[in-house]
Amino acid sequence: MAVAGKGGVGKTSIAATLVRVLVKAYPDKRILAIDADPAVGLSTALGIEVKTTLDDIRREVVAAAEGGDNKSAIELLGEARYRIFDALVETDGFSFIAIGRPEASGCYCKINAYLKEVIGILSENFDYVVIDGEAGIEQINRRVMEKVSHLLLITDSSKKGTQVIAAIRRVADELVMYERIGVIANRLPSTEVTALLDTGDLPLLAAIPSDASLAEFDLKGENVFYLPDEAAIVQGTRQALREIGIL
């Protein structure tokens, strides 16, 4: 499943909590968290120390080719595919991988193309894959998430937030193969605003109020596995997974 939305709506916190809920619900399943956002926040939210990213591997292979390595392009590509698994962080209950930052400021094309291939390779080895996507529509537009089972769109109570998820949905309908789609409204000032949210014909899976405990966790850089089960984001994320047919 992929998580998308505009920046600042708590997308990464939701993605991390999705992993937490899945790990607790399905301890016997293989679960992978992919940090596909160059802002690199999912690792912190999950308490993961990242030593190698996909972009580290890609740049090393490119450097070898440009440095006159005698291996053929096919051999180098095969090596890159093999080394993907070197970037996997195995932890209790789930695995994690990060794309890292692109080689040039503002340039995501090469790493997005590589990420698309990586997602396809890795997804075959896991029962559940949670992708924390880049804010906005870029990765959807470039078909990085070309085929996902569930597309979760995150918004806050702002008009901009709902406009962004509507834009993502329009692009996804043309470019992404997904089975189910839905909205999680996050960081709501009160439950009363839920009735005012314009999600169009998209189903509202959960409405999560602002959570002071989560804000404190974010400030301290603590991971979501230490949040209490009664925390609003945990309860809301669990509800969303039920509504969309995963739990």
What's 15-58 look like in SS3? Answer: HHHHHHHHHHHCCCCCEEEEECCCCCCHHHHHCCCCCCCHHHHH
- What pLDDT score does 218 carry? 75
Helix runs in the chain, H state only: 11-25, 42-46, 54-66, 73-83, 109-123, 138-141, 159-175, 212-220, 232-243
- What pLDDT score does 58 carry? 72
- What pLDDT score does 74 carry? 60
- What pLDDT score does 108 carry? 47
- What pLDDT score does 135 carry? 83
Mean pLDDT across the stretch 103-129? 68
Whole-prediction pTM: 0.88
Share of the chain above pLDDT 70, in %: 83
Domain topology for 7-243: Rossmann fold (3.40.50)
Whether residue 205 is predicted with pLDDT greater than 80 in this model: the reply is yes
The string of pLDDT tens digits covering residues 62-103 is 777 676 666 655 666 667 677 788 889 999 899 999 887 655
- What pLDDT score does 3 carry? 94
Query: What's the farthest any 2 CA atoms get from each other in the chain?
Result: 65
- What pLDDT score does 117 carry? 73
Neighbouring residues of 61: CB distance < 8 A, sequence distance ≥ 6: 76, 77, 79, 80, 83
What is the average pLDDT score of the chain?
84
Lowest mean pLDDT among 42-51, 54-63, 193-202: 54-63
- What pLDDT score does 63 carry? 74
Of the two residues 221 and 168, the one the predictor is more confident about is 168
- What pLDDT score does 107 carry? 46
Mean pLDDT across the stretch 39-46? 86
| pLDDT category of residue 106 using cuts at 50, 70 and 90 | very low
Mean pLDDT across the stretch 19-30? 97
Share of the chain above pLDDT 90, in %: 50
Whether residue 206 is predicted with pLDDT greater than 80 in this model: the reply is yes
